[in-house]
């Protein structure tokens, strides 16, 4: 099993918020993450006047305390850089083969910046231009850029199409559509020819009225209901035997996260049931809801929901270490909070099919109670809304550093979940 992440701090260490937003290709595979960092002081708008100092401290802490491999897995990392950071030696602490330096739109492209960009390219860094809209000063920079990002929150699709056409003529770089929050927008951008997509379109449900769940989904919902009703675990084996794809998915999941500390491989559904026990089996069945019918377990939606559920579980343990039922409930709320996206129906309709308590239903549907507050925190962290995250952790009585340590352990766990054998 992986050892817990240990993050050391000093009285003068900045309290850092960390966000990680996926970047996907046209087949919805995660190819990179944009890393979002803010110090607590920056979030609160106090006592931070030196952007270079604040960002440099974050980078140094990232490398020295937990390493980018824990945050990125095997993916690239996009990192915003200001003019001052771009010109500083601090940026050279980053591994050039893993990092895309994302030049902010307010960076003036003068001779000094251009020379520095060429120097960083020679070191092996990839370069991106954020929120691209053509300006003549960009001309000498265009040939050395690897990525352009087009922000669709303020760029109309007609204008985005013109930008894409221009870039195809002037550059070999990949073009990324940013702020893609709906499935319909993703499909339009894909048709237009964008290479990559950033946003949570994959997590937003497409509600199809009257749609019937797939057979494997119906089986999973039945298993969940049985487990929540304290059914005899041995009664579950026939349900898996009748669905080879679910059996394959379960075996992949339990093996991928190192059950039993890697001392044995789980090779049969009976063995998985016996070794896991009822509580853990319920967890993996919930994860399987997000796996594809053929048992593949690496999709963006599955990784996000796994990350959310684990984050909520670990925060719950931090708040109340003596009540294991509370952390189990937190995990379940996180895991079911995106079931509407995979079932393509309303969350209310999904919850009708399993026997959840009213407390859990209220947390899921209305963000009520302590479990609802945990869900709200997980959601604002995912979106990079660090000001709201600050408010939520104050309500929960934990520190920014507590949250960071939990996030790192969470990311490491969800990265393991996504690994194929």
Residue 163: CB atoms within 10 Å: 16
Please report which helix (H) or strand (E) contains residue 80, including its range.
strand 76-81
pLDDT exceeds 70 at position 196: yes
**Boundary (domain end) residue, out of 143, 171, 202:** 202
| Per-residue pLDDT at 5 | 44
Does any domain span residue 241? yes
* CATH number of the domain where residue 290 is located: 1.10.3210.10
Does any domain span residue 398? yes
Does any domain span residue 118? yes
Name the 3-class secondary structure at 357: coil
**45, 91: one domain:** yes
Does any domain span residue 9? no
Locate 349 and state its tokens. 């309709």
- Count how many domains the chain has: 2
**160, 257: one domain:** no
Instruction: Record the pTM.
Output: 0.85
Could you read off the pLDDT of 148-189 as tens digits, one per residue? 999 999 999 999 999 999 999 999 999 999 999 999 999 999
Name the DSSP class of 230: T
Name 205's Cβ contacts closer than 8 Å, sequence gap at least 6.
340, 341, 343, 344, 345, 346, 347
**Boundary (domain end) residue, out of 147, 167, 202:** 202
Mean pLDDT (whole number) for 97-113? 92
**Boundary (domain end) residue, out of 202, 224, 247:** 202
Could you read off the pLDDT of 236-273 as tens digits, one per residue? 888 888 888 788 877 877 776 655 555 567 777 878 88
**271, 187: one domain:** no
Beta bridge partners of 77: 33, 99
Q: The domain containing residue 120 runs over which residues? A: 16-202
- Contact call for residues 1 and 262 (beta carbons, < 8 A): yes
| Per-residue pLDDT at 3 | 46
Beta strands per DSSP E along 187-336: 196-198
Mean pLDDT (whole number) for 34-50? 61
**164, 249: one domain:** no
| Per-residue pLDDT at 274 | 78
Name the 3-class secondary structure at 279: helix
- Contact call for residues 293 and 213 (beta carbons, < 8 A): no
Residue 279: CB atoms within 10 Å: 12
What does pLDDT average to over the chain? Answer: 83
**32, 177: one domain:** yes
Could you read off the pLDDT of 362-409 as tens digits, one per residue? 999 999 999 999 999 999 999 989 889 999 999 999 998 899 889 988
């Amino acid at each position: 099993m992986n050892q817990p992440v240990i993050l050391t701090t000093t009285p003068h260490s900045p309290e850092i918020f960390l966000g990680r937003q996926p970047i996907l290709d046209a087949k919805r595979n995660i190819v990179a993450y944009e890393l979002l960092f803010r110090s607590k002081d920056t979030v609160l708008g106090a006592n931070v006047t030196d952007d270079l100092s604040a960002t440099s401290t974050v980078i140094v802490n990232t490398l020295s305390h937990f390493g980018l491999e824990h945050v990125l897995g095997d993916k690239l990392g996009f990192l915003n850089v200001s003019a001052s950071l771009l010109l500083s030696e601090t940026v050279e602490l980053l591994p050039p083969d893993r990092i895309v330096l994302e030049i902010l739109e307010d960076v003036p492209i003068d001779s000094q910046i251009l020379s520095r960009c060429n120097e960083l390219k020679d070191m092996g860094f990839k370069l991106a231009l954020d929120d691209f809209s053509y300006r003549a000063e960009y001309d000498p920079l265009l040939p050395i850029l690897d990525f352009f990002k087009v922000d669709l929150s303020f760029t109309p699709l007609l204008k985005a199409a013109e930008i894409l056409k221009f870039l195809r003529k002037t550059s070999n770089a990949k073009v990324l559509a940013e702020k893609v929050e709906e499935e319909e927008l993703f499909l339009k951008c894909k048709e237009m020819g964008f290479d990559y997509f950033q946003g949570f379109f994959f997590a937003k449900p497409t509600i199809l009225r009257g749609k019937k769940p797939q057979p494997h989904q119906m089986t999973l919902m039945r298993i969940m209901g049985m487990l929540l009703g304290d059914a005899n675990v041995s009664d579950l084996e026939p349900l898996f035997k009748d669905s080879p794809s679910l059996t394959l998915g379960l075996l992949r999941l339990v093996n991928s996260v190192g059950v039993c500390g890697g001392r044995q491989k789980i090779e049969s559904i009976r063995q998985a049931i016996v070794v896991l026990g009822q509580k853990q089996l319920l967890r993996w069945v919930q994860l399987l809801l997000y796996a594809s019918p053929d048992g593949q377990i690496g999709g963006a939606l599955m990784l996000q929901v796994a990350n959310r559920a684990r984050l909520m579980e670990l925060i719950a343990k931090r708040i109340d270490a003596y009540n294991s039922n509370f952390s189990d409930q937190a995990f379940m709320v996180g895991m079911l909070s995106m079931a509407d996206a995979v079932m393509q129906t309303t969350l209310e309709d999904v919850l009708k099919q399993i026997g959840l308590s009213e407390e859990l239903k209220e947390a899921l549907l209305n963000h009520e109670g302590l479990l609802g507050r945990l869900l709200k925190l997980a959601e604002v962290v995912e979106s990079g809304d660090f000001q709201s995250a600050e408010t939520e952790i104050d309500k929960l009585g934990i520190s920014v550093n507590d949250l960071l340590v939990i996030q790192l352990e969470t990311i490491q766990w969800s990265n393991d979940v996504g690994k194929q054998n």
